[in-house]
Amino acid sequence: MIKFAQFGAGFIGKIHGANIVKHPRAELTYIYDVVPAAAESLAAQLGAKVASSPEEIWASDVDAVLIASSTNTHADHLSAAIKAGKAVYCEKPVDLDIARVKAVVQESTKATKPILVGFSRRFDSNHVGIRESLHNGEIGKLEMISITARDPKPPALSYIKVSGGQLRDQAIHFFDMLRWLSGEDPVEVYAAGAALVDPDIGEAGDVDTSMLILKFPSGALCHINCSRRADYGYDERVELFGSEGMALSRRKPRREISIFKGKSIIADGLHGGWFERMEPTFYHALDALIRTIEGEQIEYPTLTDGLKAQLIAEAAVQSLHTNQPVKINYWSPE
């Protein structure tokens, strides 16, 4: 059994905690939250102990930590986990400050245990399926990727202001995804955007509607379009176009129901939010970490992957502001 401690008892912490408990080869020992009452409530529900401080966790015999606390605490917890020799599942992003991310990546070169960054969409069965089609050669050589990502409604303006904006917060999942799907690091990005959903988002210096084109070293091209609002639910889909075919990760409907009436066929639509759609991926990502700890060779999103996605986002933001295509500057630890 792999013993976990968890930082954070908020919305996503509840999901992760329940998944740890549900996993047949993991157990949840500690929960820590800066709001003790939150930690206590979740600990009671999941049969775990409340840690009185992060230090109690680092000194304990837990094998792994799940970092689901607020973003600005990720880097410190990662550093401590590396020093304490704990495996880590860290929610994204690593930190909004790229310098801090680089520092942690540098430290992680000494890590003895796996560190997984929570790009959980890599574990979505539909996305996994089209990646296999590409890697199996079914669709030939990759030439174009097209990604659509639309949330039903914008997050609170207060969140948007601290999130880094649409490209750093929403599009970042797809910056990771295009690297994971293609096996290539894009070299350049052009971004266009506007605040069409809510002028207050524009006032705050952000956009809510954006389109990007990225170029791969192979010449392949990638398009992403994002909206912070879709009247019809959470819409995420990916298209891989290759020299010998195309693979689609289609939309997933809520239910397989159709009503035939008058001149229309009315089918059940999409999920009401990203979470309903993506929930199973959290468990699969956790399972990947656990199997890695157990010694299995599994590909998973690393700290370096987390940094690269953020570096693409930085270039995209610069492109958005300058209306110029921008080269992406990657960085490697010494």
CA-to-CA separations, 112 to 64, 75, 83, 105, 115, in angstroms, rounded: 12, 17, 9, 13, 9
CA-to-CA separations, 299 to 49, 280, 286, 289, 291, in angstroms, rounded: 32, 18, 13, 10, 11
CA-to-CA separations, 325 to 77, 175, 215, 315, 319, in angstroms, rounded: 36, 16, 10, 9, 6
Number of residues that bind its own copies (CB under 8 A): 73
What's the closest the beta carbon of residue 65 comes to its own copies, in angstroms? Answer: 25
Query: Given the complex with its own copies, which of 110 and 263 has the nearer CB atom?
Result: 263
- Considering only 53, 112, 323, 329, the residue that binds its own copies (CB under 8 A) is 323
Does 254 interact with its own copies (rule: CB under 8 A)?
Answer: yes
Does 221 interact with its own copies (rule: CB under 8 A)?
Answer: yes
Options 34-42, 70-78, 115-123, 317-325: segment touching its own copies (CB under 8 A): 317-325
Strands 87-90 and 64-67: parallel
Instruction: Return the exposure string of 139-173: e unless at least 16 CB atoms fall within 10 Å of the residue's CB, then b.
Output: beebbebbbbbbbbebeeeeebeebbbbbbbbbbb
Query: Given the complex with its own copies, which of 158 and 264 has the nearer CB atom?
Result: 264
Structure-token match 């999103």, residue found: 301
- Considering only 258, 294, 331, 332, the residue that binds its own copies (CB under 8 A) is 258
Does 259 interact with its own copies (rule: CB under 8 A)?
Answer: yes
Residues numbered 7-26 forming contacts with its own copies, rule: CB under 8 A: 22
Options 84-92, 113-121, 241-249, 308-316: segment touching its own copies (CB under 8 A): 241-249
Joined together, the tokens standing for residue 8 give: 């954070």
Does 154 interact with its own copies (rule: CB under 8 A)?
Answer: no
- Considering only 103, 190, 276, 314, the residue that binds its own copies (CB under 8 A) is 190
What's the closest the beta carbon of residue 135 comes to its own copies, in angstroms? Answer: 13
Does 232 interact with its own copies (rule: CB under 8 A)?
Answer: yes
Counting every residue written for the chain, the total comes to: 334
Cα radius of gyration rounded to whole Å, the chain:
20
| Side chain identity at residue 131, one-letter code | R
Does 61 interact with its own copies (rule: CB under 8 A)?
Answer: no
